[in-house]
Amino acid sequence: MSNGEKGILMRLLGGAWAAVNGLRRLVVNVVFLLLLALALGLLLARAPNPVIDGSALLLRPAGQLVEQVAVADPLSLLQRGANPSQTPLHEVLEALDAAASDTRIRGVVIETDPLAAAGLAKLQELAAAITRFREAAPDKPILAWGSRFTQAQYFLASQADEVYLAPDGFVLAHGFASYPTYYKGLFDKLDVRINVFRVGIHKSAVEPFTRESMSEPHREATARLLDGLWAQWLEGVTTHRSIGTDELDALVDDYPARLAAANGDAAQLALQSGLVDGLLTPDQWRALQISRFGRLDDGKSPRRTALGAYLAGVRAQLVPAPARIAVVTVQGAIVDGDSPIGVAGGETVAAMLARVRDDDAYKGLVLRIDSPGGSVFASERIRREVDLIRQAGKPVVASMSSVAASGGYWVALAADEIWAGSSTLTGSIGIFGMFPDLSGLLARGGLAVDGVGTSPIAGGLDPRRPLSEPMASALKSSIEHGYRRFVGLVASARGMDGAAVEKVAQGQVWSGRQALDHGLVDQLGGLGAAIGAAAGRAGLDRYQVDWIEPELDARERILERLLHAFAVDRPDRGIAAGATAVFVQMVGELGDLADWNDPGHVYAHCECQSP
């Protein structure tokens, strides 16, 4: 083929790519405009006051219970399951606290079917809010129903005064477990080597990539942690039920035999065991709500006000306060640079913190953490910005959600106070470094790498080549320095000596309750308590709370509001969906390696997940 023919071919390919790319952008924009038109139409048709007088507040959390809702591309809405719903925990808490004294609200209705996942600490915060509602408004009933109950769903439903289950449903309470996937065998087959440097015998985050099974220290620590968390789950579930913790624990242990004795009828077993108060089909559940709260004008539906509509009505009546408390979220893995919501980019979070520091309207900060950590460089970037806010005279309170471990604990160390939930996973004070060696994989494919450098370590961080001894030594020194620094930060922030920190460090993961005993946190309590503590330190009696979000363009802001307002949810069902979820998790774990982008390849990350 001549050069001229090649040039023509390249121009044709370039034109084809431009056409495909233009079509892609056109589809995205068309979907976006359709969503926008739909939203505007619904908003125009909506009544001025969305709160229905004499109604029940409907709590129907969809998808994952999170601290901050992520923004999705509209094109993903066309792909089944590509955009799982998310429900911000703080909005549910805000609605419950407001509804307790709202004379327009006669009770609470909880429907758990759309709830896909929620950490135990988040569920406990939600349970505490329901308890506050019950104590403030004892005459307002709280009813719950589900076609079936997963462990998380049942924890939420069990907080109600009355719990109902569909006649063909079940309560799937099976305890807590941790069974990581180990990839060493796969890497061996591919001739991929993962070079690991770590400090802390309990720092298990690297084990899935370097072992074929769980190490004994990790096994023992995990079993101890899960036993403590399971005890908290049992305690929370049985508080408002007629079954005791020991009885429920025995039911779970002996479930197959108990189910067989009930002729395989899981719903009847749940009723006989006191887990639910009755069995109701969907139409019977609707009729029960109508009998308690009346009908809407259509004559068919029970009088209920959805959470989103209720919050919109309540917030529209609020009188803005001149003083504000800011809440900045550190959610997801901590990575270097900028990031979308759902991943805590060091620069993204630092920019939000700088806005709080520079705005005189903000008198205090709550750092809400739901992260297993990640990049040490990015963690320190965030911690330093928090420290600068304190130096500016604004109090800072760290509030731990489901997980605030390793780098998530690192960023909390700059706060004046640290609050945790009793089941928050925290600690994991340890450091590790990982660097892949792909030379074996390339060799299997017939590829070779060769050349020269100006020093023994030039090109030393090239994954195509084996890690050299000089570079390995440098990484080891860096990891050891990072661990000493982590321990020093903890000692300074918590008023402990190095020996005391070492006893609780070495990568050990603690529940919030254990962390309080070890002096790693100051108080046990949820988000509301942390906000109150920040306001108290700032000397505020009247204030409003602002959730600070990353700067979004106009399109992203509108889209984020639309997705949240319409609560697009497609919860997966059945065994096939479960198998798909496991496969997606495995792919995600391997894909997460690409997000580990610390400039020095040094990480404070916890291989821990709230059950």
The amino acid at residue 305 is T
Q: Which of 203, 371, 379, 511 is catalytic?
A: 203
Q: What would the DSSP string read from start to end of 443-477? A: HHTT-------SSTTTTTT-TTSPPPHHHHHHHHH
Of 369, 382, 386, nearest to 338 (Cα)?
382
Q: What would the DSSP string read from start to end of 174-232? A: ----------HHHHHHTT-EEEEEEE-TT--TTHHHH-SS--HHHHHHHHHHHHHHHHH
Of 326, 344, 325, 348, nearest to 334 (Cα)?
344
Q: Give residues with Cβ within 8 angstroms of 264, minimum separation 6.
A: none
Tokens 């409003």 correspond to: 544
Could you give the maximum distance between any two Cα atoms of the chain, in Å? 87
d(CA 203, CA 429) in angstroms, rounded, equals 8
In terms of phi and psi (left: phi > 0; alpha: psi -120 to 50; beta: otherwise), the region of 577 is: alpha
Residue 406 known to be catalytic: yes
Q: 57 is written with which tokens?
A: 């507040």
Rounding to the nearest 10 degrees, give the CA dihedral for residues 93, 98, 99, 103.
180
Q: What would the DSSP string read from start to end of 265-279? A: -HHHHHHHTTS-SEE
Q: Is 512 helix (H, G, I), strand (E, B) or coil?
A: helix
Q: Which of 273, 339, 402, 406 is catalytic?
A: 406
Q: Is 486 helix (H, G, I), strand (E, B) or coil?
A: helix
Exposed/middle/buried for residue 37 (C-beta within 10 Å: 0-12, 13-18, 19+): exposed
Residue 379 known to be catalytic: no
Distance of CA 608 to CAs 206, 212, 394, 402, Å?
A: 12, 18, 32, 10
Q: 264-270, long-range: CB within 8 Å, 24+ apart, which pairs? A: 266/169, 266/170, 266/171, 267/165, 267/166, 267/167, 267/168, 267/169, 267/170, 270/165, 270/169, 270/170, 270/171
> Active-site residue numbers?
203, 406
